[in-house]
Copies of this chain bind each other. A is one copy, B any other.
Amino acid sequence: MRGRFEEPLDPVVARFNSSIGFDWELLPYDLIGSRAHVRMLGQVGIISPSEMAQLVAGLDQIEQAWRTGEFQPDPAWEDVHSAVETRLTVLLGDVGKKLHTARSRNDQVATDLRLYTRDHIQRLLNLLQQLQAVLVTLAEAHQTTLIPAYTHLQRAQPVSLAHHWLAYFEMFDRDRTRLVDCNRRLDVSPLGSGALAGTTLPIDRAYTAELLGFARPSANSLDAVSDRDYVVELLSALSLILTHLSRLSEELILWSSQEFGFISLTDSCATGSSLMPQKKNPDVPELIRGKTGRVFGHLLGMLTTLKGLPLAYNKDLQEDKEALFDAVRTSEDCLRVMAVFLEKGMVIRTERLAQAVTEDYSNATDAADYLVRQGIPFREAYQVIGALVRTALADGKLLQDLTLTEWQAAHPGFSEDIYAAIQPAQVVNARNSYGGTGLAQVRQALLAARARLAL
């Protein structure tokens, strides 16, 4: 678009400047936006009904050519917007030159990008829901499977494996609400904001907003063309999704190690080594964990790009697209492949887990609580059991191996029923406070999770 120019662009500059290599992804959204714009121009009489019909038909024809693969991006073009306008003018002649009436690329690309983002938020919501459904199914199957739970990667207390899966359910549930909030905030139509100040032509922005399914037109034209908050907000939400996936991945990697041995890997989701014939590697969770940095990087890159830009549009904003597209694609891929991995990539080794929860001191808190129920101040009970663990360790015994005499030497409050109180199944089941790992709580949590998913 070179209204007042006499000489052509330097070819190095033209290549550097062109966005056609990546903004082609916006094509379907650009056509949706242009169709709405043209219908509005016709509606308010800025163009005639016949011109409107021709333009709509031309845009439909372009969409058809794109769907069949005939309309392909040419590296020589500046961007997707001028590609469409040019092709339309080839198709329709002078009428095509009316497409850009009362519009600027600034409000146009802002509209396209919101349409893209809205669409992909919907896809992300679906993928999150699917992953949550897998987690619920796993949780239902493992309500009475016990697993050591950790703080500081040291065994803390055993929990129901269902409880563990539901912790991730909660994280992804918050992720969904963040996406919904982001979507609600981006739900305004910038179309009609012009270059930055609106237009002198009698357009109807409420009508284009309605045609595009936006809640309302944006309230300030300067803001509308320079706002990329929703891009940052989505990148932040994706960064948290990846954070959650990275935590789950870390655990799956740990669990599949020979040392933990809590899961084994199936052939369908693991890969081998080029050198070591015995290897079977958890590539899926590793790669997800690795891609976390990539999404964080895009968030940071976008924030840096926006920092200190004066109003309104600046060319720097062209950098919004690749970061967003890649982060969205990466996040969608990771959600999809994590669901596949959880469903098909691992076998939970229940016998190993059953053994694991019996071989440590993770019932020590229960021994302290046992005394607390007799009125011993907690901190005192804590000291008693701490000392007991110390001597048991020195003797190479677990708490359940101590004789009643040894228990009573530590504190006279202990009786025979201490052994029942510190059995793993009891340790888990006794944590029956709301949100705890007691089986009744877990059953309630499962019902609630199912209900939330159905929404």
Q: Which residues of B contact A304 (CB under 8 A)?
A: 292-293, 296-297, 303-304, 307
Q: Is the interface of A mostly helix, strand, loop or mixed?
A: helix
For the complex formed, measure the closest distance between the CB of A101 and the CB atoms of chain B, giving whole angstroms. Answer: 4
CB atoms of A197 and B13 under 8 A apart: no
Scoring A16, A156, A280 by chain B CB atoms within 10 A of each residue's CB, the highest score goes to A156
Q: Which residues of B contact A98 (CB under 8 A)?
A: 377-379
CB atoms of B16 and A333 under 8 A apart: yes
CB atoms of B221 and A436 under 8 A apart: yes
Distance between Cα atoms of A293 and B232 in the complex (Å): 13
* Identical chains in the assembly: 4
For the complex formed, measure the closest distance between the CB of A446 and the CB atoms of chain B, giving whole angstroms. Answer: 11
Distance between Cα atoms of A157 and B294 in the complex (Å): 30
Distance between Cα atoms of A363 and B225 in the complex (Å): 19
CB atoms of A294 and B301 under 8 A apart: yes
Which of A23-31, A57-65, A113-121, A169-177 is near enough to bind chain B? A169-177
For residue A337, CB closer than 8 A to chain B, the reply is yes
Q: Which residues of B contact A346 (CB under 8 A)?
A: none
Q: Which residues of B contact A223 (CB under 8 A)?
A: 166-168, 170-171
CB atoms of A8 and B435 under 8 A apart: no
Which of A69-77, A255-263, A400-408, A412-420 is near enough to bind chain B? A255-263
Distance between Cα atoms of A436 and B205 in the complex (Å): 11
Given A4-B387, A100-B274, A240-B229, residue A313 in contact with residue B435 (CB < 8 A): no
CB atoms of B13 and A198 under 8 A apart: no
Given contacts A7-B267, A259-B261, A289-B308, 13 further A-B contacts (CB under 8 A): A2-B267, A3-B386, A13-B268, A102-B372, A102-B378, A168-B223, A169-B220, A198-B436, A221-B433, A233-B236, A281-B315, A287-B318, A289-B307
Between A and B, 28 residue pairs with Cβ closer than 8 Å are A3-B385, A9-B271, A10-B345, A13-B337, A16-B284, A17-B283, A98-B377, A98-B379, A105-B275, A106-B151, A149-B197, A153-B253, A168-B223, A178-B181, A198-B437, A206-B434, A218-B435, A219-B448, A229-B240, A232-B239, A247-B306, A251-B311, A276-B365, A277-B368, A290-B305, A290-B319, A294-B323, A304-B304
